[in-house]
Amino acid sequence: MTRTPATARRPKIGLVAGGLGAYWPQFPDLLPQLRRSAARVTERMREFDADVVDAGFISDAQEGAAAAETLRAAGCDLIVGFLTTYMTATMLAPVAQRSGAPVLLINLQPTEAMDHATFDTGQWLAYCGACPLPEMANSFERAGVPFRSVSGHLEDDRAWARIGRWIRAAGVRSVLRNGRHGLMGHLYPGMYDVSTDLAMVSGNLGGHVEVLEFDDLRVRVDDVTDAEVADKLAEARETFSFDDSVVADDVEWAARVSVGLDRLVADFDLDSLAYYHRGLAGEIHERLGAGMILGASLLTARGVPAAGEYELRTSLAMLIADRLGAGGSFTELQALNFRDGVVEMGHDGPAHLGISQHRPLLRGLGVFHGKRGWGVSVEFDVRHGPVTLVGLGQTRDGRYKLVTSQGEVVGGPLLKIGNTTSRVDFGTDPGEWTDAWSATGVAHHWALATGHIVPELRAVADLTGLELVEVS
């Protein structure tokens, strides 16, 4: 059976709506109205990039238990309970306790407000979804079930934006819990902050780390045909501008390595990849390590984040940012510009090509600073406008934490050295920001993502149990 990569898998959202069955014989028009509201919620839920498992409408605790079993068997990433009117906690407690998934309760009344002059009791009850919300919160707290909710009305765009945030966070949780993350080569010598206890990846996030050798790549590169290299070169020319410094032999080698990387990712069913190999004296492993940037950038652009320098936690941070639709490019501090009030940051590839301000450039380098080898590197400026830094740090006791800060990429002079340099304005003194950012213990690499996504990261932290540290 072929596995669907976690990065390609849509989150599975379980949905159950309900109300107190004692009302139905008392107010005959109420249940049909609530079912129409439930149908509208189902319709809008299906507009998100998610698969919806609708367990139907429940009216008592027995029906709630049956819905709980349906959703448990479905293996959902998030359970959404729609409170259409008052209902007892016994109706939703089984759903919350048995599903094994986080639970979101939504209270969406039919319109912005009641028509007080004309409404009778039955019509009021259709607006009474807020009534059981504290009851659910209290019951879930006492049962040890984490609680979150969104209140609004059926066509309330603000409420639906918040619901969408939880669904995207559920998608991140799913890709982390189900993902296969490649780690190829060895640690960059001396980088204590990059070193990662592989057991802690699954312990904190779930998923699987596949330990790879550069020889796993070598044998695949050996099998690449000239025709495949030509096709990859054509893809590169469609994607990049080529600087005059690009040497034909170097870019052809990078294309050959790129085809091998594609096979490696497919053969080991990877959702992300971190790599590094030093090599020596121009031997094959050194050449493979130096030829990675083109292929790793193309992988990142299609949703399989690849990070150099053995940066497993950063490749996971890039994956989180990408799953939130914000890109996420491999980044570190480069310099502080006190004249312009910006922090210059980026890296010497790989890069997320989908968030470039302009067409990305391939530049030929006679030497990679601090690394063995030579070849081509990616150069661009991240799209100007709001950005968010996403780092995945590790505490002394092995727990992971998300570290984030929001700023804005602005234009200005950039180095032309084959790096993905961006000028980020954090609205404060660059030195003070750098000290505050470093004080979090984030480590020296992170993902640079487009948009201000801290609210989404708060939801991710909630669903994954990670601490979130915000630098503002």
Q: Distances from the Cα of 48 to the Cαs of 41, 44, 107, 160, 272, in angstroms?
A: 12, 7, 18, 10, 24
pLDDT attached to residue 384: 98
Residues 6+ apart with CB under 8 A from 237: none
CB under 8 Å to 56, separation ≥6 — which residues?
Answer: 16, 17, 67
The pairing of strands 12-18 and 78-83 is parallel
Domains and CATH numbers, the chain: 12-175 (3.40.50.10940), 179-470 (3.20.14)
Residue with tokens 């780092």: 391
Distance CA 420, CA 53 (A): 42
Within 13 Å and on the Cβ side, how many CA atoms surround 44? 19
Distance CA 96, CA 324 (A): 25
pLDDT for position 282: 85
Residue type, 270: L
Q: What is the pLDDT of residue 1?
A: 46
Using CB atoms within 10 A of its CB, is residue 25 exposed (0-12), middle (13-18) or buried (19+)? exposed
HSE of 462 in the Cβ direction (CA atoms, 13 Å)? 21
What pLDDT, on a 0 to 100 scale, did the predictor assign at position 453?
A: 98
What is residue 2's predicted lDDT score, i.e. its pLDDT? 54
**Contact (CB, 8 A) for 99 and 68:** yes
Sign of the Cα pseudo-torsion (235, 236, 242, 248, in order): negative
Per-residue pLDDT tens, the chain, 472 aa: give them: 456 777 778 999 999 999 999 999 999 999 999 999 999 999 999 999 899 999 999 999 999 999 999 999 999 999 999 999 999 999 999 999 998 899 999 999 999 999 999 999 999 999 999 999 999 999 999 999 998 999 999 999 999 999 999 999 999 999 999 999 999 999 999 999 999 889 999 999 999 999 999 999 999 999 999 999 999 999 999 999 999 999 999 999 999 999 999 999 999 999 999 999 988 888 999 999 999 999 999 999 999 999 999 999 999 999 999 999 999 999 999 999 999 999 999 998 789 999 999 999 999 987 777 777 678 999 999 999 999 999 999 999 999 999 999 999 999 999 898 889 999 999 999 999 999 999 999 999 999 999 999 999 999 999 999 999 999 8
Q: Is cis: bond before 11, omega within 30 of 0? A: no
Name the pairing type of β-strands 180-185 and 208-212: parallel
